[in-house]
């Protein structure tokens, strides 16, 4: 007879637990420095065991034996009374799901340098299937995860909740960092300790999705977020439409993170055999703080998520703040000549160049009528392109292809192409007449592709398109979608948009396009594969840009962040700042200008010329180097500082900005990061006000060790002073 006491009970449980663990199939998904560990027992529930830095085989075995497990994709209806990733109404009205593993497939995607792991699930009763997919990049520390949902039931199944992914984050002192804001104040960094309750970050605009909240977050696992230390998980939903991120913290030991399309007013009636693919959630992990996490996102973005991520971006002048709608041939020629003389490489003609029956004299007319306004530009686009060539620069153009004005020939011809319920009157946006085209309609998709085709076929020299989008969905409803698919509009709009952009990208792979949407409303990883950059904000005030660019840099690389020097005084805030400060801020992103050069003094033009020359020198480091954020403007210590370094650590650029100016104010030394302690670096002042008046650090050779451990005194002078120093290894 076996007497069961506490000791051998423990032994028996351990043996049972171990044999269960060993019989369960474990799947390891790895990138160069990170790892996700899952248990996928055949016929059982897939579970997540670990997500963090890459570990040894021995540690993986230990994790399997000891880790607390969480359902890898919780579904609604059977034994899971918590927030779920998926809930449906089956064809027969049943609301429950019970998914079990039926297979695991691993494929090497050689061309992409990634591995794809698919966990196949089937409901225990219904012919309802979910594939959980994990794409692990082998040259960047990002794992993308999404689901593919389908069924073989007789009638449509309604998807009521369909998150892309679920990630359990172990409770402790976990902090959330995310971006929020408003028009002209986008990308504000918000940080908070996660508390019990539900935190929801979502978007309902329909067309654009980052004017206020963003679909990217970081979880700092070791207390208050630090830039260069501590463990951090980063997550970015790669989607251009309405999204919802949920972080649910209840009575148990986990923060439950769920991310996906916002299902509100978007219930999806899935037909038999149709596959519903959710957008990918990109996950990364770093033990080098938030900056470490950012560097991983940036590297992945440049390699895989950004159109032409390896091509340096040109220095441009955009016409908007210089002339607004007042476009004419002579004015464009003058601006092109001026930017060329300052060393710029591209001129972009913004809004106001088009419209025949309804000339675009202001924002109430002509969207949709993409023909040149011959009164403003009698020589047409060809003459502008010829002038650009004459000045030795490239030419780009503004479009807002997803929109129309009710005062346009397009609307007169196709009133049924706009988004609106047939029975309702039109609610208009910008200019009192702006409406959104119904991109769920393939005819509308073709029209947009044709618009770009006609432009590019007639003028193959066009080098750049600024693709704007200045309205939200205000009229809910579609002439095109059938009655039982009206609730698909938000989703179909973005499928349509992706289709259009995919076709354009395939035809014109080298054309650089900027994602603009009333400023920074389209900063998302759903659209970036089609665009090379985004317009960060309509607010070009350098001072306020420091906050916005700092926020956005958490998830997006400098090469994608359009940052323009604008007029003094600034058109949005009325603030007056020195030209040097404006350049120094814009040079930490993708440098451009957004002002009327003919209003600049000769001295200003001279400075701009030198600053542009300096940017060309540091451009490879800023646009392709590693970012280290040093002193946050949000910490309110009177200044902000960041730097970029090459991966080889032989070159770096250091930026510092005075955020507050008080007499005899104490300014701490700034310790640098990202340098090699064993190297010697020469410091070069890149943007002195006068060529012969460089700051006191210029020309000094300092060791990496000193710069890392002791730092430097920042050579600030007065209000709105700023510094751009290049560091070059001295052998």
Q: Please identify, among the stretches 205-213, 434-442, 512-520, 679-687, the one whose residues bind ligand DGJ according to the rule CB under 6 A.
A: 512-520
Q: How far is the CB of 69 from ligand DGJ (least distance, A)?
A: 47
By beta-carbon proximity to ligand DGJ, the closer residue of 168 and 519 is: 519
**Quick one: DSSP state of residue 92?**
T
* Residue whose tokens read 């970050």: 201
Exposure string of 572-600, with b = 16+ CB inside 10 Å and e = fewer, is beeeebbbbbbbbbbbbbbbbbbbbbeeb
Which residues lie closer than 8 Å to 414 by C-beta, 6 or more apart?
Answer: none
Residue from 185, 518, 549, 572 that binds ligand DGJ (CB under 6 A)?
518
Q: Tell me if 145 contacts ligand DGJ by CB under 6 A.
A: no
Could you tell me the CA-to-CA distances from 165 to 71, 144, 174, 480 in Å, in that order?
A: 11, 10, 20, 31
Residue from 320, 411, 607, 657 that binds ligand DGJ (CB under 6 A)?
320
Q: How far is the CB of 304 from ligand DGJ (least distance, A)?
A: 27
Q: How far is the CB of 533 from ligand DGJ (least distance, A)?
A: 13
SS3 content of the chain, % helix, strand, coil (to 5): 25, 30, 45
Distance of alpha carbon 140 from alpha carbon 8, whole angstroms: 47
| Three-class SS state of 495 | helix
Q: Please identify, among the stretches 177-185, 233-241, 478-486, 514-522, the one whose residues bind ligand DGJ according to the rule CB under 6 A.
A: 514-522
By beta-carbon proximity to ligand DGJ, the closer residue of 469 and 659 is: 469
Q: How far is the CB of 363 from ligand DGJ (least distance, A)?
A: 6
Could you tell me the CA-to-CA distances from 434 to 254, 364, 417, 419 in Å, in that order?
A: 46, 7, 13, 11
Could you tell me the CA-to-CA distances from 31 to 55, 169, 237, 259, 299 in Å, in that order?
A: 11, 19, 19, 21, 13
By beta-carbon proximity to ligand DGJ, the closer residue of 232 and 339 is: 339
By beta-carbon proximity to ligand DGJ, the closer residue of 203 and 536 is: 536
By beta-carbon proximity to ligand DGJ, the closer residue of 351 and 729 is: 351
By beta-carbon proximity to ligand DGJ, the closer residue of 519 and 625 is: 519
Q: How far is the CB of 375 from ligand DGJ (least distance, A)?
A: 19
Q: How far is the CB of 454 from ligand DGJ (least distance, A)?
A: 21
By beta-carbon proximity to ligand DGJ, the closer residue of 257 and 365 is: 365
Which two three-digit tokens encode residue 237?
Answer: 């939903």
Q: Please identify, among the stretches 30-38, 113-121, 515-523, 688-696, the one whose residues bind ligand DGJ according to the rule CB under 6 A.
A: 515-523
Q: Please identify, among the stretches 277-285, 516-524, 554-562, 698-706, the one whose residues bind ligand DGJ according to the rule CB under 6 A.
A: 516-524
Q: How far is the CB of 186 from ligand DGJ (least distance, A)?
A: 11
By beta-carbon proximity to ligand DGJ, the closer residue of 403 and 656 is: 403
Q: How far is the CB of 411 from ligand DGJ (least distance, A)?
A: 18
**Quick one: DSSP state of residue 288?**
B
Q: Tell me if 468 contacts ligand DGJ by CB under 6 A.
A: yes
Distance of alpha carbon 325 from alpha carbon 726, whole angstroms: 39
Q: How far is the CB of 573 from ligand DGJ (least distance, A)?
A: 16
Strand order from edge to edge, sheet including 70-71: 26-30, 34-39, 47-53, 70-71
By beta-carbon proximity to ligand DGJ, the closer residue of 123 and 533 is: 533
Q: How far is the CB of 583 from ligand DGJ (least distance, A)?
A: 19
By beta-carbon proximity to ligand DGJ, the closer residue of 117 and 518 is: 518
Q: Please identify, among the stretches 81-89, 511-519, 556-564, 682-690, the one whose residues bind ligand DGJ according to the rule CB under 6 A.
A: 511-519
Could you tell me the CA-to-CA distances from 83 to 107, 171, 198, 263, 279 in Å, in that order?
A: 31, 16, 10, 14, 19
Which two three-digit tokens encode residue 482?
Answer: 């059938």
Q: Tell me if 186 contacts ligand DGJ by CB under 6 A.
A: no
Show contacts with ligand DGJ in window 372-411 (CB under 6 A).
398
By beta-carbon proximity to ligand DGJ, the closer residue of 117 and 521 is: 521
Total residues interacting with ligand DGJ, rule: CB under 6 A:
11
Which stretches of 279-375 are assigned E, i.e. beta strand? 281-286, 316-318, 346-349
Element (H, E) at 431: none
- Estimate the crossing angle of helix 329-341 against helix 380-391, to 10 degrees: 20
Q: How far is the CB of 367 from ligand DGJ (least distance, A)?
A: 9
Distance of alpha carbon 407 from alpha carbon 416, whole angstroms: 15
Q: How far is the CB of 364 from ligand DGJ (least distance, A)?
A: 11
Which residues lie closer than 8 Å to 62 by C-beta, 6 or more apart?
Answer: none
Residue from 291, 319, 470, 588 that binds ligand DGJ (CB under 6 A)?
470
Which residues lie closer than 8 Å to 79 by C-beta, 6 or more apart?
Answer: none
3-state SS of 544-587?
Answer: HHHHHHHHHCCCCCHHHEEEEEECCCCCCCCCCCCHHHHHHHHC
- Measure CA of the first residue to CA of the last residue in the chain; give whole Å: 79
Phi/psi for 667 (5° steps) reads: -120, 115
Q: How far is the CB of 468 from ligand DGJ (least distance, A)?
A: 5
In this structure, are strands 434-436 and 462-467 parallel, antiparallel, or unpaired? Answer: unpaired
Q: How far is the CB of 269 from ligand DGJ (least distance, A)?
A: 36
Q: Tell me if 351 contacts ligand DGJ by CB under 6 A.
A: yes
Which two three-digit tokens encode residue 224?
Answer: 């208050």
H helices present in 6-85, as ranges: 6-23, 57-66
Q: Tell me if 350 contacts ligand DGJ by CB under 6 A.
A: yes
Residue from 516, 542, 548, 585 that binds ligand DGJ (CB under 6 A)?
516
**Quick one: DSSP state of residue 528?**
G
Q: Which residue is nearest to ligand DGJ (CB)?
A: 351
Q: How far is the CB of 430 from ligand DGJ (least distance, A)?
A: 8
By beta-carbon proximity to ligand DGJ, the closer residue of 120 and 468 is: 468
Q: Tell me if 519 contacts ligand DGJ by CB under 6 A.
A: yes
By beta-carbon proximity to ligand DGJ, the closer residue of 344 and 519 is: 519
Distance of alpha carbon 472 from alpha carbon 328, whole angstroms: 30
Vertex 525 angle, CA 50 and 51, to 5°: 5
Q: How far is the CB of 184 from ligand DGJ (least distance, A)?
A: 10
Q: Tell me if 120 contacts ligand DGJ by CB under 6 A.
A: no
Show contacts with ligand DGJ in window 524-583 (CB under 6 A).
535, 538
The number of CA neighbours under 13 Å toward the Cβ of 79 is 4
Residues contributing to the site for ligand DGJ (CB under 6 A):
320, 350-351, 398, 468, 470, 516, 518-519, 535, 538
């Amino acid at each position: 007879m076996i007497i069961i006491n506490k000791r051998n009970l423990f032994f028996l449980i351990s043996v049972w637990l171990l044999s269960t663990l060993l019989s369960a199939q474990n799947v390891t998904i790895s990138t160069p420095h990170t790892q996700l560990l899952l248990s996928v027992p055949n016929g059982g529930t897939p579970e997540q065991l670990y997500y963090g830095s890459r570990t040894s085989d021995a540690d993986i075995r230990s994790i399997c034996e000891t880790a607390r497990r969480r359902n890898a994709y919780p579904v609604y209806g059977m034994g899971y009374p918590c927030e779920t990733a998926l809930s449906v109404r089956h064809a027969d009205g049943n609301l429950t799901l019970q998914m079990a593993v039926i297979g695991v497939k691993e494929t090497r995607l050689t061309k992409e340098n990634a591995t794809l792991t698919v966990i196949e699930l089937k409901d225990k009763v219904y012919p309802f299937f979910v594939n959980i997919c994990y794409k692990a990049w082998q040259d960047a520390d990002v794992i993308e995860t999404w689901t593919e949902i389908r069924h073989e039931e007789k009638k449509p199944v309604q998807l009521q909740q369909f998150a892309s992914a679920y990630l359990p984050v172990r409770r402790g002192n976990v902090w959330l960092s995310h971006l929020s804001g408003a028009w002209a104040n986008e990308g504000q960094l918000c940080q908070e300790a996660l508390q019990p309750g539900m935190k929801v970050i979502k978007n309902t605009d329909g067309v654009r999705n980052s004017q206020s909240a963003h679909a990217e977050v970081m979880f700092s696992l070791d207390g208050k977020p630090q830039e260069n230390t501590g463990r951090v998980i980063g997550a970015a939903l790669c989607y251009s439409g309405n999204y919802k991120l949920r972080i649910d913290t209840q009575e148990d030991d986990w923060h439950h993170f769920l991310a996906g399309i916002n299902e509100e007013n978007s219930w999806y009636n899935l037909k038999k055999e149709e596959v519903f693919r959710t957008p990918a959630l990109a996950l990364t992990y770093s033990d080098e703080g938030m900056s470490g996490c950012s560097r991983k996102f940036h590297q992945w973005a440049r390699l895989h998520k950004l159109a032409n991520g390896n091509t340096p971006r040109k220095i441009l002048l955009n016409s908007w703040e210089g002339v607004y709608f007042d476009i004419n041939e002579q004015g464009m020629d003058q601006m092109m000549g001026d930017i060329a003389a300052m060393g710029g490489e591209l001129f972009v003609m913004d809004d106001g160049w088009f419209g025949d029956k309804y000339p675009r004299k202001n924002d109430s007319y002509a969207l949709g009528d993409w023909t040149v306004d011959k009164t403003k530009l009698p020589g047409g686009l060809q003459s502008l392109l010829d002038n650009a060539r004459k000045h030795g620069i490239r030419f780009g153009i503004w479009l807002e292809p997803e929109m129309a004005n009710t005062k346009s020939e397009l609307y007169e011809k196709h009133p049924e192409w706009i988004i609106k319920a047939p029975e309702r009157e039109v609610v208009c946006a910008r200019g009192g007449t702006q409406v959104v085209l119904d991109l769920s309609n393939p005819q509308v998709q073709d029209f947009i592709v044709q618009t770009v085709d006609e432009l590019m076929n007639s003028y193959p020299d066009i080098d750049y398109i600024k693709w704007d989008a200045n309205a939200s969905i205000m009229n809910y409803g579609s002439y095109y979608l059938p009655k039982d698919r009206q609730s698909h509009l938000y989703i179909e709009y973005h499928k349509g948009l992706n289709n259009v952009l995919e076709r354009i990208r395939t035809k014109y792979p080298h054309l650089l396009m900027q994602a603009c949407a009333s400023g920074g409303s389209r900063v998302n990883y759903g659209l970036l594969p089609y665009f090379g950059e985004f317009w960060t904000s309509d607010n070009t005030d350098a001072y306020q840009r420091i906050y916005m660019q700092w926020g956005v840099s958490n998830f997006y690389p400098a090469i994608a962040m359009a940052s323009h020097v604008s007029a003094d005084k600034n058109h949005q805030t009325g603030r007056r700042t020195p030209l040097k400060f404006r350049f120094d801020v814009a040079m930490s992103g993708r440098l451009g200008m957004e002002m009327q050069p003919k209003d600049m003094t000769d001295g200003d033009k001279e400075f701009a010329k030198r600053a542009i020359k300096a940017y060309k020198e540091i451009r490879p480091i800023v646009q392709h180097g590693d970012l280290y954020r040093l002193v946050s403007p949000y910490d309110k210590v009177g200044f902000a500082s960041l730097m970029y370094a090459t991966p080889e650590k032989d070159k770096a650029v250091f930026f510092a900005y005075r955020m507050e100016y008080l007499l005899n104010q104490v300014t701490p030394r700034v310790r640098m990061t990202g340098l090699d302690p064993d190297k010697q670096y020469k410091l070069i002042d890149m943007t002195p006000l006068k060529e012969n008046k460089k700051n006191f650090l210029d020309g000094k050779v300092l060791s990496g060790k000193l710069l890392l451990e002791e730092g430097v005194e920042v050579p600030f002078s007065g209000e709105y002073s700023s510094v751009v120093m290049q560091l070059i290894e001295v052998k």
